[in-house]
Amino acid sequence: MKHLTASGFRVKPVPVKDPGVQRKRLGMPDALASCHTGLIDGYVIEGHVPAREITRLIRERPQALGLAVPAMPRGSPGMEADVNDPYAVLLVGRDGRYSTYARYTGPNRQ
């Protein structure tokens, strides 16, 4: 299978029959589900999380399960559109609780 490179990360796509089973196996709460689940450097990444926040997560190394962007907000990475929905990147704890890690709003966000 081909490896992809995105923002300095080497990505190996692995198709699975039931993503919900993998999400549960990795500990990501169903309430934070999106369309993609990944594992990067020991952290679970759920949904359309900006590379900038993944880089920050790996640099800061918080005690956490990982990051999530629930649903599929328009304007998030991979969901580029004429409209940008405001959304939050959530830092998810190993106990399933979460807090806001970053916010993205407006048409001029980075």
Q: How many domains does the chain have?
A: 1
Domain that holds residue 44: 4-104
* Enclosing H/E stretch for 8: none
Whether 109 maps to a domain, the answer reads no
- 34, 47 in Cβ contact below 8 A? yes
Residue 78 falls inside a structural domain: yes
Q: What share of the chain is helix, strand, coil (3-state, %, to 5)?
A: 20, 30, 50
Prediction pTM value: 0.85
Is residue 76 within 8 Å of 50, Cβ to Cβ?
Answer: yes
* Per-residue pLDDT of the chain in tens (110 residues, 90 and over written 9): 444 455 566 677 778 888 889 899 999 999 999 988 989 999 999 999 999 999 999 999 999 999 999 999 998 998 888 889 999 999 999 999 999 999 998 654 54
